[in-house]
Structure 1
């Protein structure tokens, strides 16, 4: 059994090989592959397995983004970079041809503006000025506007992770447009296109794609089940539609 079959199963391989569509996205930038630091990979072997999967899907670069939350996941360069380097070493040892970087996915919470002021952020992209942020799923944080302002005056470009998953925005779709008007980039979760999270999330994803509001896509991969679903995503008409836009992934 080949690598693709082991990772994705027979059905995923058949669907992927029969489709004429070639995924133009070569840089994956939202995942949780640093082991033992959040709700993603637990051990380095899982990190390597998932990176092998991204390479098999044609990705040339992965920028992984462990959670940073003030009260729960207190990750920083001090613990993330050494683990990144361990993974890089294993990639070389196992001859897996993929570039591997690490940044973070920051929750905009009560402690976030202190992190901005520290200047010690895990960022990525051209000149290291892009930063991935997320919001609580239940309600918009009270300091969202001030946090975005502080990021931007400090020279950072905020990327909002999976806006389709915040149903308080899905119910007030003008909020998506307001964020775009403020210079916030929007990142769609690939799994949202196939209804993985829920139908309302899939509907919100469709709205964002159809209105050309998406700037980047990311897998938000935490574990092997997410990886196994990616061939289905790549063959889905909504994912192909978003790839018609000038996505920014390959410039990171």
Structure 2
């Protein structure tokens, strides 16, 4: 028992300093299913700093039926968090983009423009966990035609893609980057998701990693992921592009 306890309490050999930027989180206060208050937002920011990040890009949900966020609501919440961090003397740059849900309004949002992006026009979006969108290829093409650089959030979490690595290759061939939730490697979302996440790492198909931070349990899982061999591969041997978002 003593040896097990000692193993769990040791510090990881590496952290997230090498990539620097966390580009997927829900740390803005009170606007989606992430941090409910500024106080909790600050706590999550501190946890991310402790894990080695030196810049944070918050990506609140934008969903037609649930989180009807706009650039105005997102930037207001960002300002509240930035002000509180300044009051507490916590120095870390925080920007805001969004995580767009691939729903019936997504294409119209693309047509209208004014989408919240990160870096050089990178756009983060997510799919339904239940149904594969038959128009995925066409919408990704439209994003590229409009000058956006689409990033699919956590591809390892969509069960209908399981069973063949070719399903993932096809989506990348459409002209889409992949962002892995690092905590998927810890088994946080289940063994099957962990297995698929490891396959994506083994096949060098991960372009970005993100915390997808919502609450302290995610911070705990992110810390745990620093003890895993596939996280070490991501940070030391793969060609992650997080630094492109400076």
Smaller-chain TM-score bracket: over 0.9
**Equivalent position of 2:197 in the other structure:** 205
Q: Note if 1:76 corresponds to 2:77.
A: no
- How many angstroms does 1:182 deviate by? 2.0
| Superposed counterparts of 1:52-91, under 5 Å | 52-91=46-85
Q: In structure 2, which of residues 95, 100, 110 is the aligned counterpart of residue 106 of structure 1? A: 100
- How many angstroms does 1:12 deviate by? 9.7
Structure 1 consecutive aligned stretches of length 4 or more whose deviation exceeds 2 Å: 10-16, 19-23
Partner SS for 1:188 = strand
> What TM-score, normalized to structure 1?
0.90
Structure 1: runs of 5 or more not aligned: 1-9
| Superposed counterparts of 1:100-249, under 5 Å | 100-126=94-120, 129-243=121-235, 244-249=237-242
Structure 2: runs of 5 or more not aligned: none
Root mean square deviation of aligned Cα = 1.6
Distance 1:12 1:34, change over 3 A: farther
Aligned length: 239
Partner SS for 1:47 = helix
**Equivalent position of 2:10 in the other structure:** 15
**Per-residue deviation, residues 137-180 of structure 1 (Å, max 9, x unmatched):** 01211332222121110000000000000111122321210111
**Equivalent position of 1:28 in the other structure:** 22
> What TM-score, normalized to structure 2?
0.93
